[in-house]
Amino acid sequence: MHPSPLRIEPIPGYTPAIGRLVGMLTYARSTTLAAVEGLTLAELDHLHDAQSNSIGALLAHIVVVERSYQVMTFEDRPLSPDEHAQWSTALKLGTEGRRTLRGRSLDHYLDELRSVRHLTLESLAARDDAWLERSVSPAPRLNVHWAWFHVAEDEINHRGQIRWLRTRLPGRRVDDQVT
């Protein structure tokens, strides 16, 4: 992977405000990928304590959060009952997540992250800055720009937890500094 540039600025192929947002989404994703690099299936499934979400479950969560905001902002509708049924465990995590979000390799999560992001970027490239400022139809207190900022923001929140959890995996070294 190319290192993500440390610049937020308009990007060719997107309108200016969308380009800056894409820079933030891309930077956030690059740090998530760095945080999970090389993790084994056992490490992805490891539960730090009885209430912890595994790193794998957090990756599944990052994927479905992005999918959910795609539906709400690109398709202008709330999740369908089917989507809700399929995604709610990863959206809510907790007990049910600990039971079922397991047994997937890093490649599985990386594929999912890549595929959901591909659709996000393709869809953002087809829209403009006026669209970005609109209210989200199924949740009109939010505007679309906040919704996509929140996708990055929620990912960064969980990446902070992933970094913390990673250094405490059995056999991994605790990095005694900022994580």
Site for its own copies, rule CB under 8 A: 6-9, 17, 20, 23-24, 27-28, 49, 51, 53, 61, 91-95, 133, 141-143, 145-146, 149-150, 153, 156-161, 163-164, 167-168, 174, 176-179
Q: Would you say 53 or 54 has its CB closer to its own copies?
A: 53
Q: Would you say 6 or 107 has its CB closer to its own copies?
A: 6
Nearest distance, CB of residue 150 and its own copies, angstroms: 8
Q: Would you say 128 or 153 has its CB closer to its own copies?
A: 153
Amino acid at 30: S
Q: Are 139 and 72 in contact (CB under 8 A)?
A: yes
Nearest distance, CB of residue 107 and its own copies, angstroms: 25
Q: Would you say 1 or 6 has its CB closer to its own copies?
A: 6
Q: Would you say 49 or 82 has its CB closer to its own copies?
A: 49
Q: Which residues pair with 78 in a beta bridge?
A: none
Give the C-alpha separation, 57 to 100, whole Å.
Answer: 9
List b or e across 43-80, with b for residues whose CB sees 16 or more CB atoms inside 10 angstroms: bbbbeeeeebbbbbbbbbbbbbbbbbbbbbbbeeeebe
Selection from 73, 63, 44 nearest residue 143 by Cα: 73
Nearest distance, CB of residue 136 and its own copies, angstroms: 9
Burial of 173 (0-12, 13-18, 19+ CB in 10 A): exposed
Nearest distance, CB of residue 164 and its own copies, angstroms: 5
Nearest distance, CB of residue 85 and its own copies, angstroms: 18
